[in-house]
Amino acid sequence: MNSVVRLAIVDPKDSSRTAIKNLLMGLDTMWLEAECSRYDFFADVVAQTQPDIALISLDSDPAKGLALVGKITQELPQTSVLVVSSSQEGSLILQAMRNGAKEFLASPLKLEDFLGAIERIQQQRGGRTDVQVRSSRVITVAGASGGVGCTSLAINLACILARNERNSVAIIDLDFALGDADVWLDIIPVYTIQDVAENISRLDYALLKRSLTKHACGAFLLPRPVQLDDHTYMAPDQLKRVIALLKATFTHLVIDISKSYGPLDMTALEMSDIALLVTQLDLPCLRNVVRLMQYFEQREGLSDKTRVVVNRQGLEDAQISMSKALETIGREISWTIPNDYATMVEARNNGIPLMEQAPRAKITRAMEAVAAAVGDASVARVEVDDKEKKVKRGLFSFLGSGK
């Protein structure tokens, strides 16, 4: 099992030991090698099982716990020791680190803190793969205007990615007011992102997973609130926690943001590995692409990982050519999705993904090509060379002039 973290836990308190198990064992990247309720026996248990991580709770008896940290560190250096305690006393932290603990984590344990500790241990080991946490890829879909096809792209990308049995995929609908991801998947959710927001102070993986609704294709959905007058509030830091928890267990996270580009939308974009900016070949959309890219350039790294997707290519009333669009926006167009209104509307009205509704259609194959590319970590960054950066802005050159 070299693709998971093998874990051994010692905590004499049944309640806190169970809470740690429930938190970590919901992850398919974690394997509980052993658990122990006595400090006296834990060193022998670790010697026999040789886990990647030994997690020691100090709260029951700090002196015995600290001695155990030193013993395991000295006798089993291949096992990294993590300490958990509700006490944040400086002398206790210092002694734990002197005894060889790699990390000192606060109790009750938070999943994002644990995963951050694992990542730091990997870095300290120089990238060795004896402790592995499966990477997750965050794909955020944004629009240059309303109605350009962001949700259709997000939903179908997620379903196509979920078709691969090696992938696990979750979708977040961040348009709290008018999001309709549940309609595209013909889902009547029991829980929504409102439930997550209302319980954010006690949010853990188990609660979050209960809030997800699974579609037949294998993708999970965290939908927008049911009622328009539901007052859902979520701070950017809270969204970061939700994303961190989902990244811990899903290989791909697809986020469909709103068109307001508010704090939550920008948080999702900044946390993404790749951002898809969906547009059509019309004047208002291309103008907004330029404006948005200028805005993204003010956020470190966001412009570099943004790729432009032209939807509904071939639409009869589109009067701007691809070459003129390239000149206008000053950067390459990564993918084009052909116009097939009838097929798309039928799939939406039926609540069936394109790969099932029309598996041989050109629009389906185009989305499969996008999914194959964005689902691969090798396209995490978009390289824009100096020549592309200097391309004349064409129709909207005045936007960059400051006039």
Domain-located, residue 358: yes
| Identity of the residue numbered 337 | I
Q: Are residues 219 and 355 in the same domain?
A: yes
In this structure, how many other beta carbons lie within 10 angstroms of the beta carbon of residue 402?
5
pLDDT score at 131:
44
DSSP of 112-143: HHHHHHHHHHHHHTTT-SSS-----EEEEEEE
Question: Does residue 171 share a domain with residue 85?
Answer: no
The answer on pLDDT for 385 being more than 50 is: no
Do residue 260 and residue 368 come from a single domain? yes
Question: 2 pLDDT band (50/70/90 cuts)?
Answer: very low
Q: Is the pLDDT of residue 121 over 70?
A: yes
Q: Count the residues in the chain.
A: 403
- Mean pLDDT computed over 103-131: 78
Flag whether 132 is in a domain. no
Q: Number of structural domains, the chain? A: 2
129 lies in a domain?
A: no
Confirm whether 130 is domain-assigned: no
Q: Are residues 165 and 257 in the same domain?
A: yes
Encoded tokens for 83: 């300490």
Shared domain check, 153 and 88:
no
Other CB atoms within a 10 A radius of the CB of residue 141 amount to 28
List the one residue out of 270, 304, 261, 259 whose CA is nearest residue 149: 259
In a domain, 65, yes or no: yes
Residues 120 and 144 in one domain: no
Are 89 and 66 in contact by the 8 Å Cβ rule? The answer is no
Q: What is the value of pTM for the model shown?
A: 0.70
Among candidate residues 124, 159, 181, the one where a domain is terminated: 124
The confidence score (pLDDT) of residue 126 equals 60
Looking at residues 217-240, what average pLDDT do you find? 85
- Surface-to-core class of residue 395, CB atoms within 10 Å of its CB (0-12 exposed, 13-18 middle, 19+ buried): middle
Whether residue 188 sits in one domain with residue 117: no
Do 58 and 193 have their domain in common? no
Inside any domain, residue 40: yes
CATH of the domain at 230: 3.40.50.300
Asked if residue 350 has pLDDT above 80, the reply is yes
Regarding whether 188 and 102 lie in a shared domain, the answer is: no
* CATH number assigned to the domain comprising residue 85: 3.40.50.2300
Distance CA 22, CA 246 (A): 15
Asked whether residue 350 is assigned to any structural domain, the reply reads yes
Asked if residue 278 lies in contact with residue 306, where contact means CB atoms within 8 angstroms, the answer is no
Query: Mean pLDDT across the stretch 186-214?
Result: 81
Q: Are residues 254 and 189 in the same domain?
A: yes
* pLDDT tens digits along 259-285: 999 999 999 999 999 999 999 999 999
Q: Could you tell me if 193 and 112 lie in one domain?
A: no
Decide if 403 is inside a domain: no
Domain termination site, one of 71, 102, 124:
124
Residues 119 and 151 in one domain: no
Q: Which residues contact 205 (CB under 8 A, 6 or more apart)?
A: 23, 26, 27, 111, 245, 248, 249
133, pLDDT greater than 70:
no
Work out the average pLDDT over 278-307: 95
Range of the domain at 257: 137-397
* Boundary residue ending a domain (124, 158, 180): 124
How many helices and strands (H and E) does the chain possess?
17, 13
**18-31 pLDDT, tens per residue?**
889 888 866 657 77
